[in-house]
Structure 1
Amino acid sequence: MIPEATVDQIRTTVNIADYIGQYVSLQSKGQNLFGVCPFHEEKTPSFSVNESKQIFKCFSCGRGGNVFTFVMDYDHLSFPEAVAKVAEYVHIPVAITPAHAKQPEDPAKTAQKTLLREVTDLCHHVLVNTVSGEPALAYLTKRGLSRETIDHFEIGYAPADNDLIRAFLEKQGVDYATQRASGLFVEDDTGALHARFKDRIMFPLKDAFGAVIGFSGRVLSGSAQAKYLNSPETSLFNKRNVLFNLDAAKSEFKSYGAAILFEGFMDVIAAYQAGIPVGIASMGTSLTQEQVQIIAHQTRQLIICYDGDAPGQKATARALALVENHPRLETNVVVLPDQQDPDEYIKARGAAAFQAQLHQVLTPLAFQLQFMASGKDMTNDRDRLAYIDAALPQIARVSEPAAQTIYLQQVSAVTNVAVEDLRLSLPQAAPMPQAPPPPEEAPYPEDYGASPAVAVSAAPHYDKFERAERELLYYAWQEPLIARQLHTQDFKFAHPAYQQLFDAWIAYAATTQQPDFAAYLDQIPPELMTTATDVSMQSQLPEPESELIDDLIALIATNQTFSQLQQVKQALRQAQQLGDKAGVTKLSIQYVNLMRAYKTNSNV
C-alpha cells in the first residue's frame, strides 16, 4: 500500500492539465480547458479540465474525476497502479511498479503466453549459443545488427530440425492441446504436429505489455519459401491488432515527441540501433483502423516513415487516408531520398544523418502534393494541367491564408506557374473530409488496456428543487461554514446520492485542516464520481451569501414538505374510507401543519 501522505504529495505535485495534455489536445475556453473526449468518439469538444479544482469532466459521456480517476479509466488500472503511474510522471518514488490491471486472464491464454515465452528463450539461445545458429547469427551480423540489438529484440533462430521445438515443449510438460493451439505447428491428417517455422530467423511479436503472442520468421535460405512467415491467427495473435515493438517504444513516445511508423521489422530494428527507440511497424500489411486506434491511445503525434520508393510512397498515401482528420492524432510524413528504405539510408549516411532526416517532416497535404506530382512529366502541358487540377481542390480546403500560400508555392515550383495565377484558379473551398467511422467493435483491443466504448447521454434536466440541492451541495464543498451549518442543523438532501456525497465530505473534512476537492474524490464510491464532478463543474453560480443559502434550504424544504403532504393526504383518504375517526383527526392535524409550513416556504 502507498502511504496516504505520499498519495497526497503525488496529487498535489502533478498538474492534471499537463498530465491529460499528453493524450488530449486542450484549448482554453473561459475558466476551463476543453478538448475532444478520449473515452468516446465526438466531433465537438465536450471534455473539460478545471485546473483550479484539478478535476476533469466530459459533458457528453459523463466521465469525470481527478487525475487518478483519469488514469484508472484511460489505462484500466487499479487505484494503487494509477497512483504509481502518476508518481512515475512526476518522479516521486513509490513502492509499487505501474502495471496494467486487466481482468483475470483465461488460463488457456496464460498457458499460451508461457509456452511462447519459453520458445522465445529457446530460439534466442539457439541463435547466439549453438553451432546450428551460427549461419543465422552471421547473417544478422552481416546486416549490421549488434549483439546488444539482437538481445534487445530477443531475436532467435528456429533450426531446420523439425522436432527440436516439439521435443523441447514435451520435456517442459506442455500438453498436445496447448502445443496445437500455439500456432507453432502444422497439423497433418493424422493429427501429428510438424514445425511451422524451420530454418528461419525468429522475431518475437509482443503485445503492448511485452508478452510474446506470436512470431514472424524470416527464411534464411531457399527461394521457394515465403520471405516472411507470421504466426497464424490464434487466441492471442491477430495481426490487425499488433504493432511490432510497441511494448518497448511506447514509454519513449513522450520524451521523443512522437511515434514513428515504419514499414517493416528490420526498419524498426535498424532505427533502434541508430538511436531511434520509438519505431513501430505493422505486421507486413497495410495499416489497419485497429492499429491507428492503438497508436492514438499511446500518443498524439505520429510520423510515417515508409520506404522512399514508389511502393513505399503509395503505402504512405494509404496510411494517411486512414488517419486523415483523426480527432486525437496529428500525423506528419518523412520521405527518404533516393528511394531508400531506413536500413539502406542508415548504412549509406550514418545514424546522425538519419536522426536529422526524421526531423524533416512534411504535413499530410505537403506529402500529397509531392506524391501527386510523381510520375508526371511537367514539361508536358497535359500532365501539368492534370496535376494542377488535382492539387488546387486540396489546397482550397486549407483555411489559413499563409498555409495556402506555402502550398501554392510548392505547386508553383513544380509547374512553373505563378502563385497568383494559381490562387485565382482555386475552387470554392470544400469541407474537409470526415475521419472514417470507428469499427463496430470496442475501439481498442482488450489486451491493450484501453477504455471500452462509452454511451453518450443527453444532458440531464433538473427541476428547480434538484437544482437547489445541487447548488447547495456545491456551496457546502466551497465554504466550510456552510457545510458546518447544514451538518449542525441535521439537514437532509432529498436525493440519496447528494446526501451520500455530503456525508462523505463531512467525514473527509474532519480528517484535514485544508479540504481539497480532488483528494475528496478519492474517498467516494466510484458510482458517485460522475455525480460529484457534474455538481462541482457547475458554472456561473452567484456568491454564496447567507440569504441565498437560506433560500435554497427553504426551497428544498418546500419540496420535501410537499412530498410529505401527498403521503399524509393519501393516508387521510384511506382513514376516511375505513371510518377511522381517531386516525382522521390525527392525520388532519398533520396535514394542516404541513400545509402551513409549505405555504410559508413557498413564499421564498
Structure 2
Amino acid sequence: MRMAMIPEATVDQILKTVNIADYIGQVVQLHKAGQNLFGLCPFHEEKTPSFSVSESKQIFHCFSCGRGGNVYKFVMDLENVSFPEAVAKVAAFANIPLDVQVTQTVQDAPEVTQQKTILNDVKDLYHHILVNTKTGEAALAYLTERGLSQETIATFELGYAPADNKLVKAFLDNRKIDYQVQRETGLFVENQDGELFDRFVDRIMFPLKNEVGAVVGFSGRVLQKADQQAKYLNSPETTVFNKRDLLFNLDLAKSQFKLADGALLFEGFMDVISAYQAGIKNGIASMGTSLTNEQLQLLAKRTHQLTVCYDGDAPGLAAANRAVDILGEQNRLASGVVVLPNGQDPDEFIKASGAEAFKAQVQKRLTPTAFKLFFLKQGQDLTNDEAKLTYIKASLATVAKLRQPVERAVYLQQIAKDTGINEQTLAQQLPRPQAVVQTSVHMATPQVKFDRYQRAQRELLAFVLHDELVQARLVNNNFVFPDARYQDLFNAWLQYLAANHQPDIATFSDTLEPDQANLLADVSMQNLAPMSDEVIDDLLALLGTVPLRQQLQSLKTQLAQAQQLNDQEAMRSLSQQYFGLLRQLKA
C-alpha cells in the first residue's frame, strides 16, 4: 500500500516512465516467449522458467510461487523494503529526482540493532586509532606503502587494533555495555574464568558490512606474521554475522553492477580495495572460502553476470577453476573469467601496469569453456604425446558438454590449433553427450490446481479487467463472484475506476494489499481465448449454477446425517429437495 511521503503524481510518473522489463532485466535473464518475457524466478530455486513479465501490462507474475505485481512490488519483495524505499530505488534507476527524503523503515530486532551499534562504534574506534594516533602509524605506513590513498582508507573505513588486548573491553565497559552483550559481539575471546580479552590484536582491521552497509563483523590482517599465526582472522559466527551469506564490498559495488556489466569476484579484500581505487568499483570478495549458495543468491538478486578475477598463479587458477565449476551448477548467473598474466594478483598487476591497463585486462573475459581449456593446458608439455593425449581427452570432455554446434566448433578449432590434430578427427572423438530433453522457455505448470468453477471466475475477472463492456454487464446484472477473493478484487477495481483513475493494471496494483496484488498478477497473466459474447455467456451460465451446486452439497451432507440417525421423515424430505434441485440444474 502507498504511504503519504511521496506525492501520488510522482509515483505514477515513475511507474509510467520505467519499463518493468528493463528494471527486472538487471537481475533476471528474460527471454521472449509469446506475448510475454520469461526467466527463472528470483524468489525461489527452479530449473524451468516460471517467472513472467508483461510489458503491455507492466506487471510480473511467477506461476510457481504466486508472487506478482508491478515494478514497485518486485523491489519490495526482492529487497524487503517499504513502498517509499521501492519507489526511491526505481526513481534512481530512471534518474528521476524525488525531492523527498526516504528513510529505511524495516527495523531490526532490538538485540540486533544493539549489536550493530556496538560494532559500528568499535569500527570508528579502530579507524580513529589508525588515522589519528601514534599507535596506528606503523599500520598506516603499511597501507600507504601498499598504495592506498587516504580517500580509499576512509571509504572502506579501515582501522587498526593495537597490541593492547584489553582496549576494546575497556571501551565497551566505559559505555556500560553488559558483559553478556559484549560476549555476543564476537569481539572477544575468554579464558576459563570467563574473563574477556580482545580477539583482534595488532591487526589492520577490515570492517565487514552487509548489503546495506551495516557493520556485522571484522577481518583482521597481521602486520608481521608470526609462526602458526593466521594471516587473516575473521569474526566468529554471531547473531549478525555468518560468512556464508556475506560478500565483502557488496554494499558499495551493487550500484555499479548495471554500469559495469555485472559483478567482479576477487579472492581478497586488498584486491577489491586496490581495484576500487583504480576505478573498478564493481568488485566483491567471498570470505576466504568457496562461493556458497547464499552468496550466489545475494548476487543473483542484483545482477545476472559474475566474472571471476583471481590471482594468476597456480593456486589462483585452481581456485578460479573451482569457482567456474560451482557457477556451472547453477543457472541464474552467467559467468566468465579474467586471467592475469605472469602469476600476478590484481593488486600486483595494478602496481606494475597501472589502472588503465587493469581496466583493459578486465575486458578480456574468457568464457567458462575457454578458461577450462586454458586451465587444462597449464603445466602440460603438448609436444609430449602422453601429455597431448591427456589434454585432448580432458578438453573434449569439456567441449562435449556444450549444446550448441557452433560453440563446439569454436572450441574444437582451438583444440586443433593447440594440438595439431585436425578438427574433423577431434569431432569424431567427442564423447557422446548425455541425452537432454529439449525444452523451450514456457510457463511452468501452476502449483495450484483450479476446478472448472475457479477457472471460470478467473477468466471472467480477467475479461473484466480488460474490457469495460464486460465490467458494465456484471455491474448491471448485480453479478457476485462465488469466491470472495475474486469479488473483493472486482470491488477494488470498481472503486479504483470510480476515483477517476485510468484503467491501468500496474497503477491499480499499487492500491492493493500484497496478497491481492499477487492475485491480480495471477489473474491478469492468464492465456485467454479470444473474448466474445458467447464466451462471456458460457462463463456466466456456468457460474450461475454454483449456488445450486452449493445447495446440493449441503443437502448431501444433511442426508448423510439423517441416514446415520435413521430419521426416515428427514430422509424423505431432503431427498425430494435434492432431486428437485438436480432437475433444475439439468434444465
Instruction: Report if TM-score (shorter chain) is over 0.5.
Output: yes
How many matched pairs?
571
Distance of aligned partners of 1:555 and 1:221 in 2 relative to their CA distance in 1, 3 Å threshold: closer
Q: Secondary structure at the match of 1:167?
A: helix
Equivalent runs, 1:244-283 vs 2, <5 Å: 244-283=248-287
Aligned equivalents of 2:549 and 2:198: distance in 1?
A: 78
In 1: Cα distance, 2:446 partner to 2:462 partner: 23
Matched, 1:494 2:482: yes
- How far, CA to CA, are the matches of 2:526 and 2:175 in structure 1? 61
Distance in 1 of aligned mates of 2:116 and 2:557: 66
Which residue number corresponds to residue 319 of structure 1? Answer: 323
> 1:180 and 2:183 equivalent?
yes
The Cα offsets for residues 171-190 of structure 1, whole Å up to 9 and x where unpaired, read as 22222222222222221122
Equivalent pair of 1:59/1:459 in contact (CA under 8 Å) = no
Correspondent of 2:431 among 427, 430, 446: 427
Q: Which has the higher contact order (CA 8 A, sep 6+)?
A: 2
1:527: Cα distance to partner?
2.4
* 2:108 counterpart of 1:105: yes
Q: 1:140 to 1:467 in 2, by over 3 A?
A: closer
In structure 2, relative to structure 1, the CA distance for the partners of 1:400 and 1:579 (3 Å cut) is: closer
Give how far 1:531 is off: 2.9
User: Within 5 Å, which residues of 2 pair with 1:16-95?
Assistant: 16-94=20-98
The DSSP-based 3-state class of the residue aligned with 1:157 is: strand
The aligned amino acid for 2:268 is G
Aligned equivalents of 1:286 and 1:569: distance in 2?
62
Query: Which residue in the other structure is 1:171 paired with?
Result: 174
Residue aligned with 1:355, SS: helix
What is the distance in 1 between the residues matched to 2:70 and 2:242? 35
Match among 536, 541, 554 for residue 541 of structure 2: 554
1:128: which partner in 2? 131
The letter for the 1-side match of 2:510 is: D
Secondary structure class of the residue paired with 2:306: strand
Match of 2:409 among 405, 408, 412: 405
Shift in CA distance, 386/503, structure 1 to aligned 2, threshold 3 Å: same
- Hey, what does 2:449 align to over in structure 1? 460
Cα distance in 2 between the residues matched to 1:350 and 1:137: 22
Query: Which position in structure 1 is the counterpart of 2:513?
Result: 525
Moved more, 345-354 or 420-429: 420-429
Structure 2 runs not aligned, ≥5 long:
438-443
CA distance, structure 2, for counterparts of residue 199 and residue 570 of structure 1: 78
Take 2:248 and 2:396, find their aligned partners in 1: how far apart are those partners?
37
The correspondence of residues 206-225 of structure 1 with structure 2, limited to 5 A, is: 206-224=209-227, 225=229
TM-score by length of 2: 0.90
Sort the Cα spacing of 1:136 and 1:432 in 2 relative to 1 into closer, same or farther, 3 A: farther
Partner deviation per Cα, 1:535-562 (whole Å, 9 max, x = no partner): 22222322233x4433432332233234
Find the partner of 2:398 among 375, 394, 415: 394
For the aligned residue pairs, the C-alpha RMSD in angstroms reads 2.9
Residue 163 of structure 1 contacts residue 194 of structure 1 at CA under 8 Å; is this kept in 2?
yes
Answer yes or no: is the 8 Å Cα contact 1:77–1:99 preserved in 2. Answer: no
Give the 3 Å change call, closer, same or farther, for CA 540–162 of structure 1 in structure 2. closer
Following the alignment from structure 1 to structure 2, what is the Cα–Cα distance between the partners of residues 405 and 550?
58
Asked if 2 retains the 8 angstrom alpha-carbon contact of 1:82 and 1:98, the reply is no
Give the Cα–Cα distance (whole angstroms) in 2 for the partners of residues 493 and 258 of structure 1. Answer: 47
Deviations 1:428-478 (A, max 9, x none): 223689xxxxxxxxxxxxxxxxxxxxx996341322x33332222222211
Letter in 1 for 2:28: V
Give the match's secondary structure for 2:98. Answer: coil
The code of the aligned residue for 2:473 comes to: Q
Structure 2 residue 159 is the aligned partner of structure 1 residue 153: no
Query: Cα distance 1:482–1:190, how it changes in 2: closer, same or farther (>3 A)?
Result: same
- C-alpha distance in structure 2 between counterparts of 1:422 and 1:99, whole Å: 61
Partner of 2:441: none
Moved over 3 A (4+): 95-102, 430-433, 561-574, 577-580, 587-592, 594-599
1:64 & 1:242 partners in 2: Cα distance?
28
Per the alignment, do residues 88 and 97 of structure 1 end up closer, same or farther by CA in structure 2, a change over 3 Å counting? farther
Deviations 1:141-172 (A, max 9, x none): 11111000000010111111233222222222
Gapped runs of 5+ residues in structure 1?
434-454
The CA distance in 2 between the partners of 1:335 and 1:311, in whole Å, is: 13
| More off after superposition, 345-354 vs 518-527 | 518-527
When structure 1 is superposed on structure 2, of 203-212 and 223-232 the one drifting more is 223-232
Distance 1:598 1:288, change over 3 A: closer
| Closer, same or farther: CA 467–188 of 1 in aligned 2, 3 Å | closer
Q: What is aligned with 1:299?
A: 303
Q: 1: CA distance between counterparts of 2:167 and 2:110? A: 26
Separation in structure 2 between the aligned mates of residue 508 and residue 139 of structure 1, nearest angstrom: 64
SS in 2 for 1:261: strand
Give the equivalent residue in structure 2 for 1:449.
none
Q: 1:432 to 1:373 in 2, by over 3 A?
A: farther
Separation in 2, partners of 1:75, 1:194: 37
Structure 2 letter corresponding to 1:476: V
TM-score (norm 1): 0.88
Alignment of 1:510 onto 2:514: no
Does the CA contact (< 8 Å) of 2:63 and 2:445 recur in 1? no
By how many angstroms is 1:392 displaced?
0.8
Secondary structure in structure 2 of the residue aligned to 1:122: helix
Cα distance in 2 for partners of 1:468, 1:322 equals 45
Q: In structure 2, do the counterparts of structure 1 residues 397 and 596 end up closer, same or farther at CA, with 3 Å as the change threshold?
A: closer
1:482 corresponds to 2:485: no
Contact 1:120–1:204 under 8 Å retained in 2: yes
Amino acid in the other structure paired with 2:543:
I
Bigger CA drift: 16-25 or 516-525? 516-525
Distance 1:470 1:117 in 2: 52
Q: Shift of the alpha carbon at 1:213?
A: 1.2
1:581-604 CA distance string (max 9 Å, x none): xxx8xx999997x778645xx5xx
8 Å CA contact retained: 1:250, 1:278: yes
Decide which moves more: 47-56 or 530-539: 530-539
